[in-house]
Amino acid sequence: MRNTVRDFQKMKADGVPITMLTAYDASSARLAEAAGIPAILVGDSLGAVVQGHEFPIPVTLDHIIYHASIVTRVTTTSLIVGDLPFMTYSVSPEQALTNAARLMQEAGVSAVKLEGGEFIAPTIQRMVQAGIPVMAHIGLQPQSVYQVGGLKAQGRDVDSAKQLLRDAEAVQSAGAFGVVIEAVPAPLGEMITKRLEIPTIGIGAGPHCDGQVQVFHDILGLFDAFIPRHTRRYATIGDSIKTALEQYRADVESHAFPTADQSFSMKKDVLAALESADESDLPIESH
Ligand code: KIV
């Protein structure tokens, strides 16, 4: 049985820290689930780590549906949350309802995530009333990168910290089942976590959030464009892959690969018949 948003909330109630990780394909999703990760986010961070864009703006709903349907296909227990991309939910509540429904029906996710606080709360309320589990995302909102002028930490002065508290309260009141808090000072992450009943999932929001979310490629050292401050590298898989690929190339160039172990044999009589055949019976001329 797949984890549900209720299990997610029970983890906060029981004081069990929640681990969340992004995944975008069959291999990463299988590995995340095998590692016991209870919740997987098919995030629009795929724009950077899969598609090679600088920011998530070019990611479309069809892209997320494509990747999320792979992740739901190969997992059975993790809660799968699909990200609603830039401008797929802020035009109107109707647009948000329609696109969230596509993500749930076509990709099979159990919940959707969207960015925004007070401004988007009425939309969250409509979605929740319609039966769509919604995870909010406040603090640094990468889809607003061009408005904010970069991927900058938020809530560092009194006014913006108070706004973040209002945002957190608004999304909870609207019915969000959880909230991602990105790139805010740790004491503010703690303050929000203590004031909310729903789980807070931090990414660069300090150790006191109810859970943490990280990008698969960041923690494994698969993404080298930059290392976000909020990331801890648990492996340097990118370096291992590069070393392996260099060895593969060297083996091909030196004829060390393939050997008989990686080759298919042929029965002696078949080979003898081929070798003694008249050249005119063979379609390709030997050089
Ligand atoms: O798109 C994403 O992966 C995210 C997480 C980093 C929170 O929004």
CA of 258 to the centre of ligand 1 (A): 41
What DSSP assignment string belongs to 21-49? Answer: EE--SHHHHHHHHHTT-SEEEE-TTHHHH
What are 241-262's pLDDT values in tens digits? Answer: 999 999 999 999 999 999 999 9
User: What is the average pLDDT across 76-105?
Assistant: 98
What are 193-233's pLDDT values in tens digits? Answer: 999 999 999 999 999 999 999 999 999 999 887 788 999 99
83 lines ligand 1 (CB under 6 A): yes
Q: Is the pLDDT of residue 236 over 90?
A: yes
CA of 51 to the centre of ligand 1 (A): 15
115 lines ligand 1 (CB under 6 A): no
Q: Is the pLDDT of residue 54 over 90?
A: yes
* 255 burial via Cβ count (<10 Å: 0-12, 13-18, 19+): exposed
212 lines ligand 1 (CB under 6 A): no
CA of 45 to the centre of ligand 1 (A): 5
* Residue-level pLDDT at 220: 97
* Residue-level pLDDT at 228: 87
Specify the pTM. Answer: 0.94
* Residue-level pLDDT at 224: 82
* Residue-level pLDDT at 287: 67
Q: To 10 degrees, what angle do helices 121-129 and 93-107 make?
A: 50
Query: Which residue spans of the chain are classified as CATH 3.20.20.60?
Result: 5-235
User: What is the average pLDDT across 161-184?
Assistant: 98
Q: Is the pLDDT of residue 283 over 90?
A: no
CA of 64 to the centre of ligand 1 (A): 12
* Residue-level pLDDT at 225: 78
Q: Is the pLDDT of residue 184 over 90?
A: yes
* Residue-level pLDDT at 286: 66
pLDDT band at 188 (very low <50, low <70, confident <90, very high): very high
pLDDT band at 103 (very low <50, low <70, confident <90, very high): very high
Helix (H) or strand (E) holding 112: strand 111-115
User: What is the average pLDDT across 56-73?
Assistant: 98
What are 104-162's pLDDT values in tens digits? Answer: 999 999 999 999 999 999 999 999 999 999 999 999 999 999 998 888 899 999 999 99
Q: Does domain 5-235 have CATH number 3.20.20.60?
A: yes
Residue nearest to atom 8 of ligand 1 (CA): 43
User: What is the average pLDDT across 78-100?
Assistant: 98
What DSSP assignment string belongs to 201-256? Answer: EEESS-TTSSEEEE-HHHHHT---S---TT---S--HHHHHHHHHHHHHHHHHTT-
Q: Is the pLDDT of residue 67 over 80?
A: yes
Q: Which value, to the nearest 10 degrees, does the dihedral of the CA atoms of residues 159, 162, 166, 171 take?
A: 100
User: What is the average pLDDT across 83-98?
Assistant: 98
Q: Is the pLDDT of residue 97 over 70?
A: yes
Residue nearest to atom 2 of ligand 1 (CA): 43
Average predicted confidence (pLDDT) for the chain: 96
Q: Is the pLDDT of residue 37 over 90?
A: yes
Residue nearest to atom 5 of ligand 1 (CA): 43
Q: Is the pLDDT of residue 183 over 80?
A: yes
